[in-house]
């Protein structure tokens, strides 16, 4: 495996240090030596009993890949030198049967990738040394078993032989020797197996099993390097966002044996309980066993505390070592150890993975113990831990069982965390009916729209086959704190048959399903859930969040559309409402008919307005005869259009008090804090029945009841819906364009906001409304709307004889708005980035379709590094945001700037928003605690990186 590089490269490579004895490394060399190597190095330096060994660096692994899978020059020689040192230290030699040294060859990357790469144990065994092992362990059976396991493991991992080939032979041997299990095979039977295994190697590879321990070592090192790019490892890194260019280190370490009698054993332990965080050793131990036995679960291990009774001296030493390790690393350690004939050996130490509960308890306790500072405690808790603490989740063991039983139906997009179980129900009305009656249901739809909301409210969770992270289902479910899986494209929802299909599997209405909104998994049948304790009972979490609050610069606001959500958000620490989507208030069942009335009348009523204004203008300039003619025309139009105008005004008149009460409730809940209320935004057809459904209904009525008044009504509705249809509604009559076309709607909403604020002020409540105009692309749009609305606001205040403070601002969600932010800031008192639309329009990716149709593949195949609807695209969309912040503040230094797109709750995006200097992020109410932590972490990361 010598390299074929140039002389200069060779010279450089030979001088590179590729291999470090454990005593030469330290904890700080994790990137170079990997977690395991750095851990063994640190323990060795600290004088702890670690079996001697050495680490080949991650750089060597990377060099191996760049030089066509050859060891870099000098590496092998350095490894041999290190081996010599180990041999001297242990007084044993690799390949020497009379003084046997066996080694393990283990992978170990910078970030833990448990079980994803390869390991070879007992390296150095061959026909001669196995005799030495039998003598050493005084156990012939063990030696033969270790040898056959070695050939099997080595054959599979290093020589690439299918595991099945060995297992088949083992099964045959068991049959021959009438053995029920592997453990029933006696020493001579195992010797037999060894022979057969060697034949398998010859048959499968055409060459003999390597008996030379040096050759074994060389090939094993190469195999561990290669396992870095093994499929399992690559998939794991993708899932955990670990870069592929880090490489793995290789640790070659003296084997010690825990199976040398009753004064030997092996175990794994955490320095604190990783489930609860309790400050007590936690782990398992097996007497007279090897590590594999613990992992394989063949024998039931005993709790680590039992060791105190069995080997008290070892236990004492072990507890001293583990508390020392905790003090050194100032964090919970997950250790592996072996006792060989009463002597303790530490094999590994690494930072222990922990549950959310454990994370906050450990962080809080360690501050009290003086081990970490509050800054560090805030950084030790991950945003995902906080999600875990506040959402229900499935019992992990039950979930695993369900997967084993083949009950995992499919995996969609994880849209809103939490676990939900219930009867699959395929329409919102039934979900509403059953849910309100106390039944547990999961609403399943192809996608949701505003008229499904009443079914979402009482449902346990929501599942859709289409849509992405910013689709209606995601946004609404997240706001409600309800689990949701969306875009599960393999599911075919058949609304007619009231069933869903995945392949040939059919789930009918009322069958129980379980969905995991944190992972996107959909299961058939019930999986028991674990509900979270109320936040006010989670003292450690509250303490960590308080520390976070003291450290963050970004404020955290919430997106809330009703008083209940606003109240909840405030309780969770929200410092304002960053987005109240008024259209969500239009969805309530009793309101929808009024909203529909308004929409259907709007075009006619407004045409009247435009026409009459034109005529009035013409009349001023016209001569008498012409004027009389125009007056007649005007009367005509007015008469014709009067019913539409009456309808429109009646509907607005009915909506006004409803909206006023909504706003009063929210403003009251957020007393003393800002509340950003956005005027109506979505395309109006979203409030009307679907065109396709209407077409079918009308066709059916034409057949069955051609004379009915129902047909006449539906046909009228169909005409209206058809008139409003747009090819690209997302780019159509929505946002501020609606208000410009139909000013009555905006006027009604502004009036409702101002009347609510005035009434509250009179009661002594400090209401702080901020009126927000959506989807501005040109400053003139904003100027025009502002002109209209200021008039209404002033009028209301005059009527009420009271003044209230209010702000008037806009969303920045169209690229042109971001690029012309300087101009826009002249009119706007605040900006709020609508990153959902801004992402949609910058990428030209439909936010409703892209994730299901192609984005998943894009991220899997690394065409994009991440889903831009989940984590803000810093380079593209982020650039627009930077421009808008910079130019907006240049024009108006005290411009208030926040973000209210779904990215406002995403920790990675929060880091970016902190960096670009926004004032606040606004996220769903249940997301507020997570955002508080993430904002503090962003601030701390920034502070440390500039030091």
Residue 383 or 898: which CB sits closer to ligand PEP? 898
Residues 6+ apart with CB under 8 A from 598: 648, 651, 652, 655, 745
- Least Cα distance to 16 among 65, 76, 86, 104 occurs for 76
How far apart are CB 840 and ligand PEP at their closest, in Å?
7
Residues 6+ apart with CB under 8 A from 810: 772, 773, 774, 776, 782, 817, 824, 827, 828, 830, 831, 832
* Residue 55: strand pairing partners: 20, 251
Dihedrals φ, ψ of 501, to 5°?
Answer: -125, 140
Of 69-77, 699-707, 832-840, 937-945, which part binds ligand PEP (CB under 6 A)? 832-840
Spatial separation of the C-alpha atoms in residues 629 and 636, rounded to whole Å: 11
Residue 40 or 814: which CB sits closer to ligand PEP? 814
Residue 474 or 606: which CB sits closer to ligand PEP? 474
Of 208-216, 720-728, 829-837, 866-874, which part binds ligand PEP (CB under 6 A)? 829-837
CB 520 within 8 A of CB 485: yes
How far apart are CB 107 and ligand PEP at their closest, in Å?
43
User: Out of 145, 192, 686, 837, which residue is the one contacting ligand PEP (CB under 6 A)?
Assistant: 837
Residues 663-722 that bind ligand PEP (CB under 6 A): 681
Of 62-70, 73-81, 486-494, 834-842, which part binds ligand PEP (CB under 6 A)? 834-842
- Does 581 participate in binding ligand PEP (rule CB under 6 A)? yes
How far apart are CB 836 and Mg ion at their closest, in Å?
5
Task: Tell me the two tokens of residue 249.
Answer: 């280190």
Long-range contacts of 730-734 (CB under 8 A, 24+ apart): 730/683, 730/837, 730/840, 730/846, 730/847, 730/848, 732/683, 733/683, 733/684, 734/681, 734/682, 734/683, 734/684, 734/774, 734/775
Active site residue ranges: 472, 900
How far apart are CB 821 and ligand PEP at their closest, in Å?
16
Residue 449 or 836: which CB sits closer to ligand PEP? 836
User: Out of 837, 887, 896, 902, which residue is the one contacting Mg ion (CB under 5 A)?
Assistant: 837
How far apart are CB 671 and ligand PEP at their closest, in Å?
24
- Binding characters for ligand PEP, 445-484, by CB under 6 A (x = yes): ------------------------------x---------
How far apart are CB 742 and ligand PEP at their closest, in Å?
19
Chain-centre distance for alpha carbon 927 = 12
Residue 247 or 898: which CB sits closer to ligand PEP? 898
Q: How many residues bind ligand PEP (CB under 6 A)?
A: 11
How far apart are CB 938 and ligand PEP at their closest, in Å?
20
Dihedrals φ, ψ of 228, to 5°?
Answer: -60, -35
Long-range contacts of 939-942 (CB under 8 A, 24+ apart): 939/551, 939/552, 939/553, 939/554, 939/914, 940/375, 940/378, 940/379, 940/551, 941/379, 941/911, 942/914, 942/915
How far apart are CB 834 and Mg ion at their closest, in Å?
4
**Which residue has 């069958």 as its token pair?**
511
- Does 584 participate in binding ligand PEP (rule CB under 6 A)? no
Of 435-443, 830-838, 868-876, 935-943, which part binds ligand PEP (CB under 6 A)? 830-838
Spatial separation of the C-alpha atoms in residues 439 and 436, rounded to whole Å: 7
Q: Of these partners, ligand PEP, Mg ion, none, which one is at the site of residue 354 (CB under 5 to 8 Å by kind)? A: none
Residue 124 or 467: which CB sits closer to ligand PEP? 467
Spatial separation of the C-alpha atoms in residues 404 and 924, rounded to whole Å: 35
- Per-residue b or e along 593-611, where b marks 16 or more CB atoms closer than 10 Å to that residue's CB: ebbbbbbbbbbbbbebeee
- Least Cα distance to 914 among 941, 890, 883, 895 occurs for 941
Residues 790-819 that bind Mg ion (CB under 5 A): 813
User: Out of 210, 352, 417, 834, which residue is the one contacting Mg ion (CB under 5 A)?
Assistant: 834
Residue 267 or 683: which CB sits closer to ligand PEP? 683
Q: Of these partners, Mg ion, ligand PEP, none, which one is at the site of residue 662 (CB under 5 to 8 Å by kind)? A: none
Residue 512 or 819: which CB sits closer to Mg ion? 819
- Does 813 participate in binding ligand PEP (rule CB under 6 A)? yes
Of 329-337, 627-635, 831-839, 879-887, which part binds ligand PEP (CB under 6 A)? 831-839
Spatial separation of the C-alpha atoms in residues 532 and 529, rounded to whole Å: 10
How far apart are CB 907 and ligand PEP at their closest, in Å?
18
CB 590 within 8 A of CB 658: no
Residues 6+ apart with CB under 8 A from 842: 815, 873, 876, 877, 880
Of 123-131, 203-211, 427-435, 833-841, which part binds ligand PEP (CB under 6 A)? 833-841
- Least Cα distance to 285 among 325, 338, 333, 332 occurs for 338
Residues that bind ligand PEP (CB under 6 A): 475, 579, 581, 681, 813, 834-837, 900-901
Residues that bind Mg ion (CB under 5 A): 813, 834, 837
């Amino acid at each position: 495996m010598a390299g074929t590089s140039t002389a200069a490269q060779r010279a450089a490579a030979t001088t590179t240090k590729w291999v470090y004895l454990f005593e030469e490394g330290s904890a700080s060399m994790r990137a170079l030596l990997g977690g395991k190597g750095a851990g063994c190095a640190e323990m060795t330096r600290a004088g702890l009993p670690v079996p001697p060994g050495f680490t080949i660096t991650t750089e060597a692994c990377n060099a191996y890949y760049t030089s066509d899978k050859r060891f870099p020059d000098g590496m092998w020689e350095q490894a041999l030198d290190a081996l010599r040192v180990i041999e001297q230290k242990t007084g044993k030699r690799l390949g020497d049967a009379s003084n046997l040294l066996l080694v393990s060859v283990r992978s170990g990357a910078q970030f833990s990738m448990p079980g994803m790469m390869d390991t070879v144990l007992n390296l150095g065994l061959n026909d001669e040394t196995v005799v030495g092992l039998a003598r050493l362990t005084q156990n012939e059976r063990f030696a033969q078993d270790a040898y056959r396991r070695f050939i099997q493991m080595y054959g599979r991992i290093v020589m690439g032989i299918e595991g099945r080939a060995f297992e088949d032979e083992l099964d045959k041997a068991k049959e021959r020797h009438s053995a029920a299990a592997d453990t029933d095979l006696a020493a001579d039977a195992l010797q037999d197996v060894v022979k057969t295994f060697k034949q398998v190697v010859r048959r499968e590879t055409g060459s003999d099993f390597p008996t030379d321990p040096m050759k074994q070592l060389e090939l094993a090192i190469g195999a561990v390097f290669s396992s870095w790019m093994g499929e399992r490892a690559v998939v794991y890194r993708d899932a955990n966002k670990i870069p592929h260019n880090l490489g793995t280190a290789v640790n070659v370490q003296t084997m010690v044996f825990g199976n040398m009698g009753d004064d030997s054993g092996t175990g794994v332990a955490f320095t604190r309980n990783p489930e609860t965080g309790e400050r007590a050793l936690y782990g398992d131990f097996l007497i007279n066993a090897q590590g594999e036995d613990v992992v394989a679960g063949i024998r039931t291990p005993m709790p680590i505390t039992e060791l105190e009774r069995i080997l008290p001296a070892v236990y004492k030493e072990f507890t001293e070592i583990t508390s020392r390790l905790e003090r050194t690393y100032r964090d919970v350690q997950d250790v592996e150890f072996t006792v060989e004939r009463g002597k303790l050996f530490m094999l590994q130490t690494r930072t222990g993975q922990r549950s959310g509960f454990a994370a906050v308890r450990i962080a809080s306790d360690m501050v009290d113990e003086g081990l970490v500072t509050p800054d560090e405690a805030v950084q030790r808790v991950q945003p995902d831990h906080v999600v875990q603490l506040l959402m229900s989740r499935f019992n992990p063991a039950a979930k695993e069982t369900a997967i084993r039983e083949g009950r995992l139906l499919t995996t969609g997009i994880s849209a809103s965390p939490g676990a939900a179980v219930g009867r699959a129900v395929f329409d919102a009305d039934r979900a509403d009916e059953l849910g309100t009656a106390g039944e547990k249901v999961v609403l399943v739809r192809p996608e949701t729209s505003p008229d499904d909301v009443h079914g979402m409210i009482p449902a346990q969770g929501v599942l859709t086959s289409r849509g992405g992270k910013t689709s209606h289902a995601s946004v609404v479910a997240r706001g409600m704190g309800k689990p949701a899986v969306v875009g599960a494209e393999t599911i075919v929802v058949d609304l007619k048959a009231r069933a869903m299909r995945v392949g040939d599997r059919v789930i009918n209405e009322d069958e129980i399903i379980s969905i995991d909104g944190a992972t996107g998994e959909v299961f058939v049948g019930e999986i028991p859930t674990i509900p979270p304790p109320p936040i006010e009972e989670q003292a450690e979490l509250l303490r960590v969040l308080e520390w976070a609050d003291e450290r963050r610069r970004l404020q955290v606001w919430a997106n809330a559309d009703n008083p209940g959500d606003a109240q909840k958000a405030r309780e969770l620490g929200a410092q304002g409402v960053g987005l109240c989507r008024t259209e969500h208030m239009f969805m309530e069942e009793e309101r929808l008919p009024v909203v529909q009335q308004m929409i259907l009348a709007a075009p006619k009523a407004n045409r009247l307005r435009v026409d009459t204004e034109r005529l009035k203008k013409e009349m001023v300039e016209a001569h008498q005869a012409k004027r009389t003619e125009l007056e007649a025309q005007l009367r005509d139009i007015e008469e014709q259009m009067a019913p539409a105008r009456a309808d429109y005004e009646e509907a607005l008149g009915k909506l006004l008090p409803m909206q006023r009460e909504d706003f009063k409730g929210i403003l009251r809940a957020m007393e003393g804090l800002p509340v950003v209320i956005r005027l109506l935004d979505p395309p109006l057809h979203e409030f009307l029945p679907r065109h396709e459904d209407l077409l079918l209904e009308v066709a059916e009525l034409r057949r069955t009841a051609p004379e009915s008044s129902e047909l006449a009504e539906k046909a009228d509705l169909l005409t209206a819906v058809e008139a409003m249809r747009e090819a690209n509604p997302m780019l159509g009559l929505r946002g501020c364009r609606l208000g410009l076309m139909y000013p009555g709607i905006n006027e009604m909403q502004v009036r409702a906001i101002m009347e609510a604020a005035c009434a509250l002020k009179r009661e002594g409540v400090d209401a702080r409304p901020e009126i927000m105009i959506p989807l501005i692309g040109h400053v003139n749009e904003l100027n025009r709307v502002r002109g209209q609305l200021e008039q209404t606001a002033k009028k209301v205040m005059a009527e009420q004889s009271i003044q209230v403070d209010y702000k008037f601002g806009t969303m920045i969600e169209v690229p042109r708005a971001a690029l012309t932010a300087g101009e826009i800031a002249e009119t706007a008192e605040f900006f709020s980035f609508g990153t959902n639309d801004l992402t949609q329009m910058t990428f030209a990716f439909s936010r409703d379709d892209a994730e299901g149709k192609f984005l998943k593949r894009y991220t899997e195949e690394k065409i994009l590094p991440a889903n831009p609807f989940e984590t803000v695209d810093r380079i593209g969309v982020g650039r627009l945001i930077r421009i808008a912040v910079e130019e907006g503040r240049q024009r108006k230094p005290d411009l208030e700037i926040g973000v209210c797109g779904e990215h406002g709750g995403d920790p990675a995006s929060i880091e970016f928003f902190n960096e670009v200097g926004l004032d606040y992020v606004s996220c769903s109410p249940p997301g507020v605690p997570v955002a508080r932590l993430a904002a503090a972490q962003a601030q701390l990361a920034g502070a440390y990186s500039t030091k």
